[in-house]
């Protein structure tokens, strides 16, 4: 299909999706659906037991698209959801594809979906919930092992697609996650992994050789989003593990549970955030040299040339979702701020595992304007938050890949 024909097809499909959805007057929302929320907020369960629900996109008409991991008893692909009787529940479900994946993005009449190795593009047709026909392959042959969540973000103009390609290893050791194993220097993973690649959102059959390596030194940016306020790319990557287990001469297990920080970063072209050579120390408040590369927990070394984060969060919380709120339903203090979904830790022993929440970070002039605060809690043990999306009426949607649930959070007023 020619480029002009494709754009025309997109614009036609988009016309059926951009009509604003009317706010669902009288929608029952009298509780919190098991979550702990700030005063004035309520939540309902839109859908449940979907499988391993990862990232989510909500169309302007209220249709919902969710990426599903495959494995075990879970089917992969995507699920499309529609509330036909306007009671807040998704009563129509249509499954799309069978390959499991984590990334999803909604473009101009198109739906992008990523598996560990491939990014697909489906055309959305007027009036139909699910796409018809096979998708186009936008990106192929991505390295699929290791950290395999290929999170997606579309540029504000829809022309560029940003793809997270996470690292193969924890810290690029010669023997991964082994005690006292030195790091590979240089770390050859950085040639094709541990960074963000920028692709043409409208071109098919691309490989990494066709793309721009937009930023590097990012271990695994599962939480990835464009901020509509400045059209810049932001991420909250997963920090490294096992400082104490692999380097007991420098770190106790208690220190390892609290280090390194999870970081929120603003990503400009050619930025280097330091992985695997550096990590952010929450006590010192800056990047330090990793022990695999000669660090002792205090040395800075080559890390003085790497880009520092905007904000630091507790260690090992596993940030998976990022959303900049542009709605008008929530109180004014939330407008322009960032919501972050933390999947929760697995390696904070000897302390209890932590995270498992959605936090809010106020923003002003493109920067965090205050400390983070917990917005939604109460997910454990049955649920672990992953994806975030904003509905056309300003509601906040949250996915869960443990129980397969989707919540819709709304503001009712005090």
What is the reported pTM?
Answer: 0.94
Cα–Cα distance, 299 to 291 (Å, whole number): 9
Q: Tell me what pLDDT residue 237 has.
A: 98
Q: Tell me what pLDDT residue 23 has.
A: 41
Q: Tell me what pLDDT residue 360 has.
A: 99
Show me where the domains of the chain are located: 3-19+32-411
CA Rg, the chain, in Å? Answer: 21
Q: Give tens-digit pLDDT for 208-243.
A: 999 999 999 999 999 999 999 999 999 999 999 999
- DSSP E strands in 70-114: the ranges are 77-82, 92-96, 103-106, 110-114
Per-residue pLDDT of the chain (414 residues), as tens digits, is: 434 344 444 443 443 444 333 345 568 899 999 999 999 999 999 999 999 999 999 999 999 999 999 876 567 899 999 999 999 999 999 999 999 999 999 998 999 999 999 999 999 998 999 998 899 999 999 999 999 999 999 999 999 999 999 999 999 999 999 999 999 999 999 999 999 999 999 999 999 999 999 999 999 999 999 999 999 999 999 999 999 999 999 999 999 999 999 999 999 999 999 999 999 999 999 999 999 999 999 999 999 999 999 999 999 999 999 999 999 999 999 999 999 999 999 999 999 999 999 999 999 988 999 999 999 999 998 999 999 999 999 999 999 999 999 999 999 987
- The candidate with the shortest Cα–Cα distance to 293, out of 320, 280, 305, 275, is 275
Q: Tell me what pLDDT residue 28 has.
A: 84
Q: Tell me what pLDDT residue 34 has.
A: 97
β-partners of residue 235 are 224, 265
Q: Tell me what pLDDT residue 72 has.
A: 61
Q: Tell me what pLDDT residue 76 has.
A: 81
Q: Give tens-digit pLDDT for 298-355.
A: 999 999 999 999 999 999 999 999 999 999 999 999 999 999 999 999 999 999 999 9
Alpha carbon of residue 5 to chain centroid = 32
> Per CATH, the architecture of 3-19+32-411 is what?
6 Propeller (2.120)
Long-range contacts for 202-207 (Cβ within 8 Å, ≥24 apart)?
202/3, 202/6, 202/7, 202/159, 203/138, 204/121, 204/136, 204/137, 204/138, 205/137, 205/138, 205/140, 206/138, 206/139, 206/140, 207/139, 207/140, 207/141
């Amino acid at each position: 299909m020619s480029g002009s024909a494709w754009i025309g097809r997109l614009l036609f499909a988009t016309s059926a999706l951009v009509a604003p959805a009317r706010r669902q007057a009288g929608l029952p929302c009298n509780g919190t659906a098991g979550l702990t929320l700030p005063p004035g907020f309520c939540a309902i369960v839109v859908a449940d037991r979907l499988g391993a629900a990862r990232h989510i996109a909500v169309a302007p008409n209220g249709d919902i698209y969710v990426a599903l991991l495959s494995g075990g008893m879970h089917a992969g692909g995507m699920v499309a959801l529609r509330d036909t009787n306007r009671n807040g529940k998704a009563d129509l479900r249509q499954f799309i594809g069978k390959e499991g994946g984590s990334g999803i993005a909604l473009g101009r009449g198109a739906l992008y979906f990523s598996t560990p190795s491939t990014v697909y593009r489906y055309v959305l047709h007027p009036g139909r919930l699910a796409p018809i026909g096979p998708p186009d392959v936008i990106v192929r042959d991505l390295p699929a092992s290791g950290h395999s969540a290929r999170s997606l973000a579309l540029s504000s103009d829809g022309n560029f697609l940003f793809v997270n390609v996470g690292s193969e290893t924890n810290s690029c050791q010669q023997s991964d996650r082994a005690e006292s194993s030195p790091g590979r220097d240089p770390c050859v993973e950085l040639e094709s992994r541990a960074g963000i690649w920028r692709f043409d959102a409208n071109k098919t059959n691309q490989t990494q050789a066709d793309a721009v390596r937009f930023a590097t030194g990012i271990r695994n940016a599962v939480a990835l989003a464009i901020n509509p306020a400045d059209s810049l790319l932001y991420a909250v990557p997963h920090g490294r593990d096992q400082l104490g287990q692999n380097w007991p001469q420098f770190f106790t297990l208690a220190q390892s549970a609290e280090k390194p920080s999870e970081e929120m970063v603003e990503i400009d072209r050619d930025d280097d955030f330091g992985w695997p050579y550096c990590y952010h120390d929450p006590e010192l408040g800056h990047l330090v040299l990793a022990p695999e590369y000669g660090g002792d927990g205090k040395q800075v070394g080559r890390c003085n040339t790497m880009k520092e984060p905007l904000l630091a969060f507790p260690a090992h919380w596993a940030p998976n979702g990022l959303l900049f709120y542009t709605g008008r339903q929530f109180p004014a203090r939330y407008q322009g701020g960032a919501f972050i979904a933390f999947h929760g830790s697995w390696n904070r022993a000897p302390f209890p595992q932590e995270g498992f929440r959605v936090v809010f970070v106020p923003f002003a002039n493109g920067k965090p304007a205050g400390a983070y605060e917990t917005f939604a809690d109460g997910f454990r043990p049955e649920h672990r938050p992953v994806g975030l999306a904003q509905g056309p009426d300003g509601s906040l949607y949250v996915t869960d890949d443990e129980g397969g649930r989707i919540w819709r959070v709304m503001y009712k007023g005090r």
